[in-house]
Amino acid sequence: DVIKKEYASIPKNQKVAIVIDFQKSGFPKFDFHSNPKMESKLEEKVITKINQLNIENPKFVNFPILILINSKYENSKNYFDELILPNENINKQYINASLKEKFDLNKKYATEIIPLLAAYQINVDDQFSGVKGFGNQINDLNFNDKQDEFKLTSQNSNYWRASMEMAVGNQLIPITKVFILASQGEFDQALKYMEILIAFSDPKTIPNDYLNELMDRIQTFQKELNEKIQKGIIEHDKENYKEAIAIYQSILQEYPNSAWAKYELYYSNNALKIKNNEIKIDDRTDWDSIKADIYKSNPLYNMNVRASNGKEGYLMFRRAEIGNLFQKKEERINDLIKYANIAMDLEVYDFAAQLFWLTNNYKNEEKNLIFKYLYCLEKLGVTDLKELFKGDYKKEFKKIENEKDKEMKNSKIYNTFKDK
């Protein structure tokens, strides 16, 4: 109203753009643009009057708005050459940042958005006890500090109850999990979840906007990361193993949770030791010591090096199968279910459960997805939610285990090993 009143008498051909960036503390920041150029006295008057208003500061993040007078948003750049919108400035800073700076900026962004996501959950009706309970749990935490994401989400009954309480298409709860992962610097894992959630998230929902923003950020980060890793691979292929090792170590200084960089570091270290006759070509000691750390960064990383028995051989084959999924668009749902089954075989029960729940309402080749979902929750230690569903759980869970065991023992790869 202040702006409308102060600019009421300007001619129709006078264009004005005002960016007001409301801060978490203190007064808003103003950025004025006019075409033709106007005197600054009116700008100063507007700033004074707005600052006299009792406008509450935004609680979680700075809140910028763009006000246009006698102009439309799509034409604003034609009239105001120097106009830089807040999001454009942020994007420019992010793109020009180093990998380490992007790592820190993404963590910071995630910690700013988590309270917003929590607020949506806290304010639901009391009948949605899981949503409200999970929201209250995360609202009490500082995600600038180290948090146990696995315990907070995967092993948390409120998290899974909340996921089930939300309307189809509103992925508020798993998107919150993604932001928690990002706040802890676990971008590999966050990206795995984002890749599947984007297919199930309703574009009209507010959480979807946050998902897209984080997806853009992580993909930009990932592109730069991949380019750096490729430089190491080029050196490795030239047998410049020491140079490759130095590149991978430098990458892990900037982003310590890259499963691919960890794998390539192992691979170059192993090649260098073989070249120097320190180990034999079939020595897998280093792999056995590093693989747990690689899979910690990305439990579904699709590379494995060593199998000493039939079960390990089968699981190595299952891990490699991830790379064959999502080749045909019409097979997407069936591939997502295959992905869930692979994750279940690899004991990545939280990812498997998320997929089983998301695909349960779609026509597919399997009929017992709910029981597989509940089986995964049981394995995670979430044992109270199965009572919400009908069925003989012990019988169904045993059936799932028998089918998994049968599938493994009937596989060709399993039977190529003497030791089972």
pLDDT value at residue 86 = 67
pLDDT confidence of residue 299? 98
pLDDT of 366 over the 80 cut = no
Q: What's the whole-number mean pLDDT along residues 153-180?
A: 98
Residue-level pLDDT at 58:
75
Domain ranges of the chain: 2-72, 94-221, 318-415
> What rounded mean pLDDT belongs to the chain?
93
pLDDT of residue 62: 75
The confidence score (pLDDT) of residue 271 equals: 97
For residue 419, pLDDT over 90 is answered with: no
How is residue 57 written in tokens? 């500061």
Sorted by sequence, the CB contacts under 8 Å of residue 401 that are 6+ apart come out as: none
User: Tens digits of per-residue pLDDT, 90-114?
Assistant: 788 899 999 999 999 999 999 999 9
Query: What is the per-residue pLDDT for 79?
Result: 83
In this predicted structure, what is the pLDDT of residue 136?
97
**For residue 229, what are the CA distances in angstroms to 1, 173, 248, 333, 402?**
54, 33, 7, 32, 41
Buried (b) or exposed (e) across 49-79, using 16+ Cβ within 10 A?
ebeeeeeeeeeeebebebebbebeeeebeeb
CB 266 within 8 A of CB 283: no
Dihedral, CA of residue 179, residue 183, residue 188 and residue 193, to nearest 10:
-10
pTM above 0.95, yes or no: no
Taking the C-alpha atoms of residue 319 and residue 332, their distance in angstroms, rounded to an integer, is 18
pLDDT digits (tens, 9 = 90+) for 264-292: 999 999 999 999 999 999 899 999 999 99
Measure the CA–CA gap between 202 and 114, rounded to whole angstroms.
19
Task: Note the pLDDT tens digit of each residue in 38-48.
Answer: 878 888 888 88
- Compute the average pLDDT of residues 251-263: 98
Interval 49-89: pLDDT, tens: 888 887 787 776 777 888 888 888 777 777 887 887 767 77
DSSP string, 149-191: HIIIIIT-HHHHHHHHHSPTT--HHHHHHHHHHHHTT-HHHHH
Query: Residue 26: CB partners within 8 Å, gap ≥ 6?
Result: 57
Average pLDDT value for residue range 393-401: 95
Measure Cα distances from 292 to 68, 252, 262, 373 in Å: 55, 16, 11, 25
288-295: which pairs have CB atoms within 8 A and are 24 or more residues apart? 290/262, 290/266, 293/262, 294/259, 294/262, 294/263, 294/266, 295/259
Write down the pLDDT at residue 89.
74
Of 369, 364, 361, nearest to 391 by C-alpha is 369
What confidence score (pLDDT) does residue 67 get?
A: 83
- Structure confidence by residue, pLDDT tens digits, 185-205: 999 999 999 999 999 999 999
pLDDT at 214 over 90: yes
Alpha-helical runs (H) found in 172-258:
172-183, 187-197, 206-237, 241-254
Given a cut of 80, whether residue 306 has pLDDT beyond it is yes
Amino acid 121: pLDDT: 97
Angle CA 117–123–128, to nearest 5: 95
Query: What band does 404 get if pLDDT is binned at 50, 70 and 90?
Result: very high
Indicate if the pLDDT at residue 157 is higher than 90: yes
For the segment 304-328, the average pLDDT, to the nearest whole number, is 93
